[in-house]
Amino acid sequence: MRRALPACLVVCICVAAAAAQAAEWRVQRVDTPARVTEIETIDGQVRVNAGGLWYRIVPGNEQAKLDFIDKPAPPKLPEGALPDGHIAVGHHDIARAWFAAPTIRYDHGILGDKIEAGSLVIETRDGKRQTIRLNDDAVFEDLEPRIADLDRDGHDEIIVVKSYLKRGSSLAVIAERKGRYDIVAETPPLGAPHRWLNPAGIGDFDGDGRTDIALVRQPHVVGELELWNWNGGALRNTAGLADTANHIAGTRDLHMSAAADFDGDGVLDLALPSFDRSRLRLIAFAPRDSKPREIASVALPAKAVTNIGLVEGSPPALAVGLADGSLVMIRRAQ
């Protein structure tokens, strides 16, 4: 008969295995000419703002460095667009989309001011435009639409944050139905005003062949990571994990997360800070029938305060600016 291991030995083995897994990931400081204030990703290239100037990250085999670049002028916003919004670019039938009709009817101000969007404008490849206008009981509490082919049928859908003035935020999916775009699905609103959520990633995170949308519910006061599966034109909550964050109240940095295959199993994973932003957590949702698991939890020298940049490579690395003004790369040891 096979004898069970003593409980104390099982605990020791589990702790040792977790420590070995976390030890595969390390933090490297990157020399910067000045204090780092922003990180953004444009066309897959991670850019860092240090002292008001912009640099690109050059990973290197052992130590990353920064190369100065001229930041391109931002695209001119269409008339009536949200002043601090961004234009999203599609890959299929949607050419562009942006938030418009600025309004002050919702007084939350979680994104730095109390101006939100009352409508979304969609421009298709043939140059036609359609505007989705919300009723007076809601706003788009968001800065940039997320365009993705959720059901992999060659047609774009749009993912947005819709906030009800009296019931809080929901995640909404916009799709074309009978030649017109409209909101076709929403998660339940969070239940009260000033309760907000922030999307964290879009992709097949659990390996079932269908697209998922990851979000953090109330990243400032709850910090619950949720995975919503898109299937048959409906959203279904399939997983959850506590102790996460992907936004700092009052800022416009909505990308404090990154999606990539961090454990090498061929399935997308998610990187985002812990709730107190003192650690970077790498989370896997595959296999689908298991609970979310932590690939690694990497302690940071100071709290994360910027967007997270995904530096392409094998394996990929992550760049983040910290509260002490420094820049660090989190990468797996070779």
**Position of tokens 């059901």?**
151
- pLDDT, tens digit, 9 for 90 and up, residues 45-100: 999 999 999 999 998 877 889 999 997 787 899 999 999 999 999 999 999 999 99
**329-333: long-range contacts, CB 8 A cutoff, minimum separation 24:** 329/27, 329/28, 329/30, 329/57, 329/59, 329/64, 330/25, 330/26, 330/27, 330/28, 330/271, 330/280, 330/298, 331/25, 331/26, 331/28, 332/24, 332/25, 332/26, 332/262, 333/23, 333/24, 333/25, 333/26
**Partners of residue 240 on adjacent β-strands:** 226
The pLDDT of residue 330 is 96
The pLDDT of residue 287 is 84
Does the structure show a pLDDT above 90 at 333? Answer: no
Please count the other Cβ atoms lying within 10 Å of the Cβ belonging to residue 93.
Answer: 14
Q: Which of 146 and 42 is assigned the larger pLDDT?
A: 146
Beta-strand relationship, 146-148 and 212-217: unpaired
Does the structure show a pLDDT above 50 at 293? Answer: yes
Percent of the residues in the chain that have a pLDDT greater than 90, as a whole number:
83
The pLDDT of residue 6 is 47
Cβ neighbours of residue 240 closer than 8 Å, sequence gap 6 or more: 224, 225, 226, 227, 292
pTM of the full structure: 0.90
Distance CA 217, CA 240 (A): 10
The pLDDT of residue 314 is 76
